[in-house]
Structure 1
């Protein structure tokens, strides 16, 4: 097992890992490395930067994921992100969606390792080495999926100064499969990522894709430097409560789910005062007690009540009590 800044990460996920989600996840784990949703370099250049990039100081360590393929524009976006205080800038070379491909970024960039290297070099120069520039990529795309292809991509991008790669262990099919279908097809190939780490021991390699438990994470950490969880961490956020003790050896007792909700109260009160709808925050908490008796009423409470006009802290107080009841109920395995 390893213990570095990337030992355990939560994946960047569009429409999911917004600032409210990240603040919530930070209450569950002090050590997990958090990632933003992908933000395009163009949006940063021409959009509302505070809305796109603002985050709470408690989220550290937190990384900004960028989408783009223009070295000049990405360099400026990285510089702006560094100015906001992010701990890392990550370049997306793994998203397979049509929308991303049409903009010449995401997984299709794996076909252009030289361009990716140019982007990384420009971003590194822009941030002056103050924070790491990292890349998130697949093990291959379409017919370009041999180990030689992956090795060539890593070698080329590493030569530009990238030392940290987050590798999704499933090939991206850009032709003929939807992003949803690509979640399960083709099969994951963890062994290829292990071999990649063995071939490049000087690089930090984080494995991503299909990891569902902290126990699985610990097994992967015997072979690579870090793990990244996406949907599993989002849909069952309580597993983040295990991270600090199991993967980092911390001795402080983990919070119970209702205690994590209690920690959210000041943040929610502040956000409501700014005009944020309760549902925008509560939607990230729905899976907190999944898999336990009473989980369905807990989800229903947050889902149905948080969307009502004027929904406020009373809903969260009710959710805290509902979570407490779930914790006190016998487990399904009992």
Structure 2
């Protein structure tokens, strides 16, 4: 069964994919026109978030950042910042995140991304950009540079792994784990000390953020049979080319146990409910209106989604144990 055939029962997921692809196509055309004739500058514009995962709707903002090769390239992009902002706003009216992690002013020389991973200067913003480049990044401009940079980062992570079969890329896995734990901790800060609303953030954390984390774990688990670094790099890159939902489906289909595909159907069913809710203006507004944890008890919608998220989590765990035998190194690596 092909992925699009599988999606016939998941209308909201399919609609979000179509919406995302159509918007991205229009934005890419305009960006190409904006930077036409400036081939001497090497850079790539990357979208993440709901557009990167192909889960966007009219309720979505556009998260993006820019990686470039040199200071001259950075200065050129900065000179075009207002034009790029206007271009994005023409297609997507909702403002992007306010933390500085995203937005058309988020420009970084890529060599700096490869430095200090895990060091004292490795801030949350750096970790976030690295992980989103890998886990959900999609190029809005210059796919060749995007793939070059992503492969450089993947190689940085897997270079410390000894060649041979049954080897887990622990450097990569540990940073995926660190990123997920960071955003769960960051959630508590945002709602308790920064005054951000609680409801929608909590539901996103329990669905889309968890799915992204899980798809990253599957990627690391799936490539242990690639003994040579070049083969492993190619496999990881191919997995990261697919959005999280599609990646989970394709990995499961490849391994083919019928009971595992049944679990994927259950996972998609719960995610369908999540997407249909946050893509609906009134339902999203209700979730955004839950300002504090105590207010959740007043929302039937939140209560239903909360229960669905618990089942969603259980099915993700069941899928992991369905796909991989007990002696697979992913299990011990997730703990130690």
Larger relative contact order (CA 8 Å, sep ≥ 6): 2
Do these two structures clear the TM 0.5 threshold for a shared fold by scoring above it? no
Q: Which has the higher helix share?
A: 2
Q: Which has the higher strand share?
A: 1
Q: TM-score if structure 2 supplies the norm length?
A: 0.29
Q: TM-score if structure 1 supplies the norm length?
A: 0.29
